[in-house]
Amino acid sequence: MFIDVVTIHVKAGDGGNGAVSFHREKYVAAGGPDGGDGGRGGNIVFRVDEGSNTLLAFRYKRKFIAENGQNGMGRKFHGKSGEDTVILVPPGTLLRDPESGKIIFDMSRDREYVACKGGRGGWGNRHFATPTRQIPRFAKAGTKGEEKDIRLELKMLADVGLIGFPNVGKSSILSRISAARPKIADYHFTTLSPNLGVVPMGDGGKGFVAADIPGLIEGAAEGAGLGHAFLRHVDRCRLLLHVVDISASEGRDPSEDMDKIDSELVRYSAALGERPQIVVANKVDSTLKEEPYVLAFEEKCKAMGRPLCYVSAVTGEGLEELLKLVRETLEQLPPMTEFEPEFTPEDEAVSGLGEIETRIRREGDVWYVEGTWLSNFMGQINFDDYESLNFFQRVLEKRGVFAALREAGIQDGDTVNIYDFEFEFVL
């Protein structure tokens, strides 16, 4: 089974609480506070697993929780930090925010990403001792770990993508040029999921990775057939091999087939429609190159500026020439697409802080703003720092707090109270 989109829930560990403890030792009359700090909660870490190419591992397990930090203890003993939870994903997996669809991170390289940070450990009572408060009987609680939903979307890492109508021979070509062994049969939709194959170059040159995409049909961009679910896997391909049945064995015109597939690519993504293509005329062993429709197809490819290669996946004719052309073309193309994060610092600041619901109530001339996310977010802000305060204001604006206050009827000069932090509202 091939799974390439799944939404999971992740939660980092909570920080441990600080301890309230006092030093007790024989002949020491007033040992003073010695409560240790709580441990940090474990992080949620995504890491690339080079050996996988599907999200099948997430079919049944979709909730991941990191270990909490342990509470502090007496004698200034620090609580143990929680272990990180490492989630392995295939290379090319995009981490997206399910609500907005924005890209959080692109796991296309051999690296890792901390998606949720563990809560900070609370201070023990020894931190609160002062000359005037020598016996502090309180400590600080640990903070909550971040929590959020993340949509995993796999876009395969392949240099070359084989596209075309069903039953034109894409899988057969892949099986001849690589060690991949996809299912091959003489009926439509034999290929139910993308297949990857590493294509070596016999002369010692650098090889490349090719992906056989399930057959597309007209209307694929809107969800028709099987191919629509896998168009995302050609997003990263630097070069497309557009395979057509030049023998017209099923009564279809190769020129019309190519136009229809091009149309689906453009409708799915304008950038994908402009991707360089090499036209692969397969099943040349079953037709004559002098046929009028074949000559017309050659002229069409020339007019479009696309190289044309005649091949036969059955006999192997033309495959060496095709591979040589592919390698030469790849050398001139830019590197594989890597998607930049679309999540802003403001998005990141409130992501995982609980339900984004803001409650507003008025008592006299004071407007009280509350919400789970706001309560957690307040702990991240240093209100004595000018830049931190500006960041706080931008998040409130982005999350619609100011707009909600205006809609509720707040007036210029009214006081706004957010968990005991007060400011004067300016329209």
pLDDT of residue 233: 76
Q: What is the DSSP letter of 159?
A: S
Q: Do domains 1-154 and 160-332 have the same CATH topology?
A: no
pLDDT tens string 358-397: 889 888 888 999 887 787 777 778 788 888 888 888 888 8
Q: In the sheet where 44-48 sits, what is the strand order?
A: 85-89, 44-48, 112-116
pLDDT tens string 50-80: 878 788 889 889 999 999 999 999 999 999 9
What distance lies between CA 192 and its chain's CA centroid?
23
Domain boundaries, the chain: 1-154, 160-332, 354-424
What distance lies between CA 401 and its chain's CA centroid?
28
Mean pLDDT confidence for 194-212: 74
Mean pLDDT confidence for 214-238: 62
Domain 1-154: CATH class, spelled out: mainly beta
From the options 3.40.50.720, 3.40.50.1000, 3.40.140.10, 3.40.50.300, give the CATH code of 160-332. Answer: 3.40.50.300
Domain 354-424: CATH class, spelled out: alpha beta
180: β partners? none
Q: How far is CA 427 from CA 363, 388, 406, 413, in A?
A: 19, 22, 8, 8
pLDDT of residue 121: 93
Mean pLDDT of the chain: 84
13 pLDDT higher than 90? yes
- Surface-to-core class of residue 88, CB atoms within 10 Å of its CB (0-12 exposed, 13-18 middle, 19+ buried): middle
